Amino acid sequence: MPRLSLKRLWAMARKEALHIGRDKRSLAMAFAVPAAMVLLFGYVITFDINDIPTAVLDQSQTSQSRNLVDAFRSSGYFRITRQLASDAEISPLLTRGAVRMVLVIPPDFAKHLAAAEPAPVQCLVDGGDANTASIAINYAQAIVTSYSATAVLKGRALPVPVQVESRVWYNEDLKSSNMIVPGLMATIMMILSALLTSLTIAREWERGTMEQLAATPVHRLEVIFGKLLPYLGIGFVDIVLVAVVGGVVFAVPFRGSALFLVVTAMLFLVGAQGLGMFISAAAKSQFLATQLAMLATMLPSLLLSGLIFDLASMPTALQLISLAVPARYFVVVLRGIFLKGVGLRVLWGQALGMLVFAAAGLTLAVRAFRKEIA
């Protein structure tokens, strides 16, 4: 076995860089994909729900019922798009999705209120989109509670027994871009490794250049590291790109240490690219490699990383699986650095997890590659 030589490694890296450089579209995509993802996710994803289209069936037609409807309208959460005349109109509207909520105020509404009795009001929600529906219900409850307190009980002093004082930390305005943009780095790195690295060895197999590579005196470590270097460079530029776009366009705060970010990002990058190369070496065909890369890297890093969906609310089995998803640790680290401004003292566990991932990714790539060349 030849001794490792930095020169050969460098030559390998240059060859791979040339390959990438010639493939103008892939190169452009390597930078366009991250930028597009940040902009898309940052702008399109919002969890604020306003202007829920709502229909009202007011059978009471009194000043009290009109006040209640006004309270809904002026809240900003609901947009009263229709006044209905009969029950029969409700079902087709909800089925077509023309409105998401129907408020039914029964004829004896004002009478009940005057008699200081509970006055039932029906609220029909399109529960299809459970998330929007539960938020809408929450808003409706809040509006009705305050309506009861001000309009109905006025004249009688009913002190508010408990006040809730909420304070939000780290992301004071609950902006969704603050949540998404830092975490997105992890997903982007994973996707790049799927898009770029996972094909690099499979391509050589399919084109028959692998035999040529095997015939040269190059060591397998030199091949792996040589192929890795240019992609690490691209990944690094992408991290800077995302951080700059996040800071400039979305005003995402950066409260932690840039050095810590670079170190953890490089660890993660090495692991992700290693994994991509392992897939590439193991699959040998580009079609299989793309499929495996999608399954093994993209989906988990988007869904099981806590980027968008809360891991703590998932079934236990899925939470256990997510322990093996490296993006999960990186997302916590990224949010910690950007939003919380915490460092190694708090995040050492995650950092350790990523170190293990980097080592595992490299080992896998080198091992899978050895079998073929020997």
Partner 1 sequence: MKFGGLDWGRLLELMRKELRQTRRDPQALRLVLAAPIIQLIVFGYAVNTDIRRAAVILFDRDHTTVSRELGQTLAASGYFRIAETAERAQDLVESLDHGRAILGVEIPRGFEGDLAAGTPATVQVLVDGTMSNTATVAQAYASQIILKFGQAHSPVAQALGRAGAPGVDLRVRSWYNPNLESRVYNVPGVMGSVMMLMSLLLTSLAVVRERELGTLEQLMVSPLTPAELILGKTVPVVGIALVDLTLIASVAILWFGIPMRGSFVLLFFASLVYIVCGLGIGLLISTVSATTQEAFMTMFMFFLPAMIFSGFFFPIANMPTVFQFVSLLDPIRYYLATVRGIFLKGAGLTVLWPQLAALAVMGGLILWLASTRFRKTSV
Q: Which of 21, 76, 107, 128 binds partner 1 (CB under 8 A)?
A: 128
* Using rule CB under 8 A, residue 364 touches partner 1: no
Q: Which of 166, 217, 248, 374 binds partner 1 (CB under 8 A)?
A: 166
* Using rule CB under 8 A, residue 336 touches partner 1: yes
Q: Which of 244, 318, 320, 324 binds partner 1 (CB under 8 A)?
A: 318
| 249, containing H or E segment | helix 220-249
**Contact 221/359 with Cβ under 8 angstroms?**
no
Of 86 and 163, nearer to partner 1 (C-beta) is 163
Of 188 and 218, nearer to partner 1 (C-beta) is 188
How far is the first Cα of the chain from the last one, in angstroms, to the nearest whole number?
A: 11
Listing DSSP states for 262-320 in one string gives HHHHHHHHHHHHHHHHHHHHHH-SHHHHHHHHIIIIIHHHHHSSSSSS-GGGS-HHHHH
Q: How far is the CB of 238 from partner 1 (least distance, A)?
A: 14
How many other CB atoms are there within 10 angstroms of residue 203's CB atom? 16
Query: Footprint of partner 1 on residues 20-39 (CB under 8 A)?
Result: 23, 25-26, 29, 32-33, 36-37
* Using rule CB under 8 A, residue 342 touches partner 1: yes
Query: Footprint of partner 1 on residues 51-90 (CB under 8 A)?
Result: 51-53, 68
Size of residue set near partner 1 by CB under 8 A: 115
The span of 192-200, 217-225, 253-261, 352-360 binding partner 1 (CB under 8 A) equals: 192-200
Which amino acid, residue 214? Answer: A
Q: Which of 88, 167, 217, 248 binds partner 1 (CB under 8 A)?
A: 167
Listing DSSP states for 14-70 in one string gives HHHHHHHHH-HHHHHHHHHHHHHHHHHHHHH-------EEEEEEESS-SHHHHHHHH
Of 115 and 258, nearer to partner 1 (C-beta) is 115
* Using rule CB under 8 A, residue 110 touches partner 1: no
Q: Provide the 3-class DSSP secondary structure of residue 102.
A: strand
Torsion, CA 286, CA 290, CA 293, CA 299, rounded to 10: 180
Q: How far is the CB of 212 from partner 1 (least distance, A)?
A: 18
Name the token pair of 20: 């990438």
Give CA–CA dist 182/187, Å, rounded: 10
Name the token pair of 363: 């080992």
The span of 162-170, 224-232, 237-245, 250-258 binding partner 1 (CB under 8 A) equals: 162-170
Give CA–CA dist 123/136, Å, rounded: 10
* Using rule CB under 8 A, residue 286 touches partner 1: yes
Q: How far is the CB of 288 from partner 1 (least distance, A)?
A: 6
The span of 199-207, 224-232, 237-245, 269-277 binding partner 1 (CB under 8 A) equals: 199-207
* Using rule CB under 8 A, residue 314 touches partner 1: yes
133 to 152: interface string for partner 1, x by CB under 8 A: xxx-xx-xxx-xx-xxx--x
Give CA–CA dist 254/248, Å, rounded: 11
Q: How far is the CB of 295 from partner 1 (least distance, A)?
A: 6
Query: Footprint of partner 1 on residues 86-105 (CB under 8 A)?
Result: 94-97
* Using rule CB under 8 A, residue 320 touches partner 1: no
Name the token pair of 130: 């459970």
